[in-house]
Amino acid sequence: MTVDTLALNNAFVEDYLKRFVQEELHTSGFTEACIALSGGLDSALVLKLAVDALGADHVHAIFLPYKISSAESKRDVRTMFEFCGIPWQELDISGMADAYLALQPGIDRLRTGNLLARLRMAVIFDQSKKENALVVGTSNKSELLVGYSTWYGDMACAIMPIGDLYKTQVRSLARHIGLPQQVIAKPPSADLWAGQTDEGEIGVSYETLDQVLYLLVDQRCSSAEVISEGFDLDLVQRVERKILTSQFKRVPPPIAKLSQRTVGTDFLYPRDWRK
């Protein structure tokens, strides 16, 4: 199997995702969107889709750096603000983060990274209240399936426009839309510490990961069938483990059922059911 298997009709997908953003905000009674920009491709693509769907005046994007955030992140965020024609907004989270970190001697960098992701979401949700806006998430399908995201951090949002696009599909759509090349070409990174990259932490390139995920999830192939396609046994088992051990992140918290109608079990309605 090759990456071509993941090819999409980008013109159709672009139009569909813009309508998705419009309709989800409308059915929820909102006209404004709030997005946290990181300097990475995913948030850049979501910003462009939201601006094209709603208009620049209705999209509130904010850069939320920590003191070790790279200069390249700020550069690429500024590029996207200018590309989309929206005013610069920056709120540095260093003070609030350091106040807590000072109380946690010896905290490791994973906990620190999770803390920063959750602080950013706390800020973006507060800003969304100020703007009477819905928070638009920027996670892609590759991250969601392997759990490479922070629970109630970058996963926290009202809608996820690109949550069903693998990373390779995100890149393809970004090229189609014409995002700045420097944003498309940069190595994916959560920018949590110097030199950190997504693929370094996950342990495999997105091109390979996406093919394995596509076979396991979309095609419902067994491990043996995926391996027969030429993928390494250890890689396939590692990806399967990541999917299984991160499932708790992708579902609502289970509720102990005691009554006739339980939220999430028997009481099931779309968010606009009242209309």
Digit-coded pLDDT (tens) for 110-144: 999 999 999 999 999 999 999 999 999 999 999 99
Interior CA angle at 198 toward 187 and 72, to 5°?
40
Token pair 């996820």 in the structure block, residue: 160
pLDDT at position 3, please?
47
**pTM for the predicted model, two decimal places:** 0.93
Of the two residues 152 and 197, the one the predictor is more confident about is: 152
Q: Which residues pair with 36 in a beta bridge?
A: 62
Digit-coded pLDDT (tens) for 211-250: 999 999 999 999 999 999 999 999 999 999 999 999 999 9
pLDDT at position 193, please?
62
Enter the tokens of residue 50.
């939201």
- Is residue 62 within 8 Å of residue 34, measured between CB atoms? yes
Q: How confident is the model at residue 275 (pLDDT cuts 50, 70, 90)?
A: low
Sorted by where each begins, the domain ranges of the chain are: 3-187
Q: Is the pLDDT of residue 173 over 80?
A: yes
CATH fold label, 3-187 = Rossmann fold (3.40.50)
pLDDT at position 199, please?
76
Mean pLDDT of 14-33: 96
Within the chain, strands assigned E span 32-37, 59-63, 133-135
Mean pLDDT of 65-81: 94
pLDDT at position 194, please?
67
pLDDT at position 272, please?
78
Q: Characterize 196-232 residue by residue with b for buried, 16 or more Cβ atoms within 10 angstroms of its Cβ, and e for exposed.
A: bebbeebebebebbbbbbbbbeeeebebeebbeeebe
Q: Is the pLDDT of residue 49 over 50?
A: yes
Q: Which residues pair with 62 in a beta bridge?
A: 36
pLDDT at position 203, please?
82
Q: Helices 10-27 and 167-177 sit at what angle, rounded to 10 degrees?
A: 100
Task: Kindly report which listed range (63-72, 117-126, 156-165, 264-273) carries the lowest average pLDDT score.
Answer: 264-273
Residues across the chain: 275
Enter the tokens of residue 215.
């076979």
Q: Is the pLDDT of residue 1 over 60?
A: no
Q: pLDDT over 90 for what percent of the chain?
A: 86
- Is residue 127 within 8 Å of residue 60, measured between CB atoms? yes
Q: Is the pLDDT of residue 2 over 60?
A: no
